[in-house]
Structure 1
């Protein structure tokens, strides 16, 4: 019948609304209880390196949250330096410089606590130095012992800070090197005197080639950008490792 309206029952409707509200509150409470239980289980059962809310430590193995925690910790210079010191790394503060589009601020030079960087005058932002220290401790050294039975006693590089644009071009965006936020690693000197070079051994089918690929893959879990000879010819002789570019692992 046109114009017919079903009769309303205010008490029934109020009761239904209350029941719906109660059901939603109970459901929300159960969700929060479940989240709390999961967080408690994670705190007790999952290692710190996999939990993004846990403090970063140089002595922890590389985990699912390491790269994100290194990037976040590196934003706070005091916290970054504290993590390095707590992990046994020593360093000196580098002087600040400003030259056009190039600048070095809050940078350091690592002086001990890891295999020396050669040359020793590698000026890096704290977050880059922190990533380098974690990579050396938790990736490079275990890979070297696994492949050769020897420690790496020097990490040889082509430089960290360099006032230039990407690929040294006259125009274009500044390189991460222009802010001391990158390191180009060329080779690794072992305790037995051998040297594993990126340019000579990347395609080696034996232990040296496997070692280089293992440390490249491990770098991808620590640094924001990791570029190897697989990227292009410009990186045929080194690994580019930085903490400021776009996420990339090649």
Structure 2
């Protein structure tokens, strides 16, 4: 017995294919229109610091896109330096050096425009310096005024460039300090002369301890890696902040 085979209608099939294609194109067009509409709404309603396609600015508050934009901008040395200059940060170019696995390239030293680093000779890659500048302006100073009622006039640190491996081990991967891509912050000097230090005030239940946790939490929104006393005993007296390590906030 021969099975029944429905008759073909080439014209109907051709029309159906054209209608299917037209429906897909219309659907795609509607999606693009919706996407453009969403972008236009975002441009008007959402602050720049939350939009990844907006240029990075040191004067913008820290937002959802700040870390990604800082990491991206930092990859272009010219663009990085331009953002610093536009934000009023003064700096000088640091000489390049290379010694085995340690190197300093495209680095700068701040000379003005923010609370000075103490000591003042901290050499950092531009992407690290950019993150430090954003953090100092938008996180540290904001937290200092809100919680301590005064400005931070100096950021104390243990150093930026150091030719060594992680935890000073004899073998293993180089530290981010080996390429001047990190800063170890130990404390904050206030306008009234007080110094808030991690070794003394991290567990302080009062405003100083609150302030230190605010600046740690804010650092996590700017730097790729932020390590604090909560991470391990090696960081009981400082924050490790870098723009080259693995994403980590602790």
TM-score by length of 2: 0.99
Deviation at residue 12 of structure 1 after TM alignment: 1.1
What is the deviation of 1:3? 3.7
Q: Distance in 1 between matches of 2:206 and 2:72?
A: 37
Question: For residues 174 and 4 of structure 2, what CA distance do their matches in structure 1 show?
Answer: 74
CA RMSD, Structure 1 to Structure 2 (Å): 0.7
For residues 6-85 of structure 1, what are the structure 2 equivalents within 5 Å?
6-85=6-85
Residue of structure 2 equivalent to 1:234: 234
Q: Which residue of 2 aligns with 1:145?
A: 145
For residue 213 of structure 1, report the CA deviation from its aligned partner: 0.3
CA drift at 1:38: 0.4
Corresponding residue pairs, total: 250
Partner SS state of residue 216, structure 1: helix
SS of structure 2 residue aligned to 1:188: strand
Gaps of 5+ in 1: none
2:184 matches 1:218: no
Question: Any runs of at least 4 consecutive aligned residues in structure 1 with deviations exceeding 4 A, and if so which?
Answer: none
Q: Which residue number corresponds to residue 178 of structure 1?
A: 178
1:193 match? 193
**Deviation (angstroms), 1:57:** 0.3
Q: Using the alignment, how far apart are the partners of 2:190 and 2:150 within structure 1? A: 6
Aligned to 1:120: 120
1:107 is aligned to 107
Q: How far apart are residue 18 of structure 1 and its match?
A: 0.8
Quote how far apart the aligned CAs of 1:2 are: 3.9
Residue 157 of structure 1 is matched in structure 2 by 157
Residue 6 of structure 1 and its aligned partner are, at CA, apart by: 1.4
Residues 31-71 of structure 1 show CA distances to partners (whole Å, capped at 9, x for unaligned) of: 00000000001111110000001000000000000000000
